[in-house]
Amino acid sequence: MTDHWFEPLAEFMGPAYLRYSFTKGTTQEVDFLIETLSLTPGMRILDVGCGPGRHSHELARRGYVVHGIDISQTFIDLANAEDINGASFERLDARFMQFMNEFDLVICLCQGAFGLMTAQDEDSVVVQKMASALRPGGRLVLSAFSSYFVVKYFETAVFDADTGINHERTEIRNSTGSSEEVDLWTGCYTPRELRMMCRQAGLEIEQIFSVDPGSYRSEKPSIESSEFLVVAFSPLTKSVGPRVSEATDT
């Protein structure tokens, strides 16, 4: 399997990853997804770049059948450490996923395998693989960092206007309190790019929301939120649940 620059970071952080404030909103995020997409227990969900499995665990506890994949063995071990009926995990690189027509829903949240790439266009490969994993009528929920927000508010970071990658020197901590300075690369997007990428993968856009970690909400895209949350569907047959009506232009 191809190595990825995030793997040593995950190994260093281990369980301390779940101390970061951006991981604290899992219940709100899952509540929003269930309500907005009218999900029903028993649905099969693929969690791409699942990390230590916080969304997978929460969804499995509520009766969903979730398979989480992540490139980091450290995070997969942490996810497997919680024995929750309906949740399974596997180390896999999202760029090489082979799932076909298997899932009612694919989620890719908090830069899970999307936006942590090293080369241009790898994110679109991941979107294509996620589209293939969906059964006809299934849906994709994908969060992406906002280019607008980063340019407006991330004063200490360096935004590469050519690639859309935000470069940040930041400190990460492990469970013993030791810290390490690392280069964090985050691929950033606009709603327009996300629409084009999804359509290229054969998906149709249902809605794009402006959200923040722990504050998922039905808000039109703006430049004031850190992330965009895309809801798209595989159009071949009818959708899993009622569609969220498109409030913005596409």
The footprint of ligand SAM (CB under 6 A) covers 4, 6, 10, 23, 49-51, 54-55, 69-72, 75, 93-95, 109-113, 116
- Min separation Cβ 73 and ligand SAM, Å: 9
Are 66 and 47 in contact by the 8 Å Cβ rule? The answer is yes
For ligand SAM, the closer CB: 79 or 240: 79
- Min separation Cβ 243 and ligand SAM, Å: 24
* DSSP H or E run through 33: helix 26-37
Q: How far apart are CA 18 and CA 132, in angstroms?
A: 30
For ligand SAM, the closer CB: 179 or 250: 179
Residue of minimal CB distance from ligand SAM? 51
For ligand SAM, the closer CB: 110 or 134: 110
Q: How far apart are CA 39 and CA 241, in angstroms?
A: 7
Q: How far apart are CA 113 and CA 137, in angstroms?
A: 23
* Distance of alpha carbon 220 from the chain centroid: 19
Biggest CA-to-CA distance, the chain: 51
* Distance of alpha carbon 89 from the chain centroid: 16
DSSP code at position 21: G
- Min separation Cβ 235 and ligand SAM, Å: 26
Are 46 and 133 in contact by the 8 Å Cβ rule? The answer is yes
Are 209 and 24 in contact by the 8 Å Cβ rule? The answer is no
Q: How far apart are CA 242 and CA 92, in angstroms?
A: 31
- Min separation Cβ 56 and ligand SAM, Å: 9
DSSP code at position 112: S
For ligand SAM, the closer CB: 108 or 239: 108
For ligand SAM, the closer CB: 86 or 115: 115
Which 3 state secondary structure label does DSSP give 145? strand
- Min separation Cβ 2 and ligand SAM, Å: 8
- Min separation Cβ 113 and ligand SAM, Å: 4
For ligand SAM, the closer CB: 188 or 239: 188
- Min separation Cβ 237 and ligand SAM, Å: 28
Q: Name the residue among 47, 53, 46, 49 with its Cα closest to residue 15.
A: 53
For ligand SAM, the closer CB: 70 or 206: 70
